[in-house]
Amino acid sequence: MKAKNISLLLQAVLMMTISCSTTETKPNDPGPRCSLTPDTYNFGNVTVGEYVDLEIILEASSYAETHIEGTAAIDCDGYAFYLNGSEEPVYSFEYDLDYNNTYTFYTRFEPTVAGDFGCEVDFDTDCGAMTLIGRGIESGEDLWDVMAESTQQDLYDICMDQTSYGIVVGDSGTVLLKYAMDDDFATWDSYDFGDIKLKTVWKGEGSIFYTAGGEISSDPGWIFMFDGTWDILDSDYMMEYYSSIWGADDCNMHFGGVNVVSMGEYNLKSYDCDDFSTFELDMSMSDVCGISGSSSSDVWAVLRQPGTNHIFHFTGTVWSPGGEAWMSATLQDVWVSDDGEVFIVGSGGAIYHYDGEAWNDSSIDGFDGTFYGVWGTVADDVFAVGSDASIYHYDGNIWTPQYGPPGLTQDIFSVWGSGSHDVWAVGQDGLILHYD
């Protein structure tokens, strides 16, 4: 099959195996009669009038003792089957296979208008169905692009400075630096971080950056400061690691993490340019994984634990529980707009929104993955990112999915930007995405 746009196709051919069998079984058969891998496929952004093909292999299970037969059917706008190299689309076909035999065909996504396209592909055996998603875009429309690979280490956080550069941090002491006028990131190697897992980075005043991390081990949790060169701001053997930073300014900084030395110890530290003060939010063994605020007297922190006592609010002197009893998700991150609206994300597609008067449940129906990061420019321009390359955008009314290139599957851990049209996200295996 000939693609209309080879740059969009990107060789996005995914081998998918669907193993099926009859109801006959062999003695001591340990496996299911049928499996579908993966459960979903994301075609990403495809320009209207172009297409992307997905190769699929239908395979009879080796446990079947006779042939399998059935019908595959697709009935969705924008999607069709292509068989045996034919250029003619079909929307259903019959299959009849002996066990261990395979049949190869293609599913094509070819949007005719801009918008989101979802599809359930049905196989009338016990193989179940396959879920497909994709987005049609107009030529030249804003979209997420993958940046040139700089590392294969997992990247956990990113922070941008519009006038000078941005910093990305991750596993094994990975620090990447981007100058404002450069398209790609370059490895920053002026400081030896060794194997310290760097989990979080924050931009202070001017061109000052803070990064922190560590691991559950005998080593301390580390905080580093960059103002042209890297220096150690703090190392603390009571803190196993740090996983969140936020500051109203350089003398009103908060550093959250986990302390597993014993209960009754601190898991959050504040810094006033001279000394650190310590706080215990809920239990010290709970990870303070996200901190954000609108001012030094309006700061929110979330703990990576299920239950209700996992959201705290700081008014300038005291940290107090700030959630509701119905908030049961395991939380991952928080972002607060300049006018004090709060967005919290977590497991099971959880999105909790405080509009200044009350909490609202804005969780994504039908999405059972985890959101790891949230960030916005204002309260009606917010991005949430998470498992399986999930990206959602809030416009003040609804959350809608956004997509990167076809076949993107890595988890995305953090999102940050210098403005609504310059947004960056980082994740597994060195993934760096840019929305422009």
- Report pLDDT digits (tens) over 306-346: 777 799 999 999 999 999 999 999 999 999 999 999 999 99
Among the listed ranges 44-53, 314-323, 376-385, which one has the minimum average pLDDT value? 44-53
Counting DSSP H helices and E strands in the chain, the numbers are: 1, 38
Of 81-90, 189-198, 334-343, 411-420, least confident by mean pLDDT is 189-198
* CATH architecture of the region 6-137: Sandwich (2.60)
Q: pLDDT at residue 6 above 60?
A: no
Q: Do domains 6-137 and 144-435 have the same CATH topology?
A: no
| Domain chopping of the chain, boundaries | 6-137, 144-435
Query: What is the three-class DSSP state of 389?
Result: helix
* H or E element in which residue 7 lies: helix 6-9
DSSP string, 215-254: -SSSSPEEEEEESSSEEEEEEETT-SEEEEEEEEETTEEE
In this prediction, residue 86 has a pLDDT band, given cuts at 50, 70 and 90, of confident
Residues near 182 by Cβ (< 8 Å), separated by ≥ 6?
none
Global confidence as pTM = 0.74
Q: What is the DSSP letter of 428?
A: G
Q: How many CA atoms lie within 13 A of 103 on its CB side?
A: 19
8 A C-beta contact, residue 63 and residue 21: yes
Is residue 390 a contact partner of residue 379, using CB atoms and an 8 Å limit? no
- B/e letters for 408-432, b = 16+ CB within 10 Å, e = fewer, are bebbbbbbbbeeeebbbbbbbebbb
**Phi and psi, residue 8, nearest 5°:** -80, -35
Task: Compute CA distances 408 → 132, 397, 414, 427, whole Å.
Answer: 13, 27, 16, 11
- Given the candidates 3.30.70.270, 2.40.420.20, 2.130.10.10, 3.40.1260.10, the CATH classification of the domain at 144-435 is 2.130.10.10
Mean pLDDT taken over the chain? 85
Amino acid identity for residue 39 in this structure: D
CB proximity list for 74: less than 8 A, separation 6 or greater: 80, 81, 91, 92, 107, 119, 121, 122
Chain segment 187-206, per-residue pLDDT in tens = 765 466 778 999 999 999 88
Question: ∠20-26-30 over CA atoms, to 5°?
Answer: 75
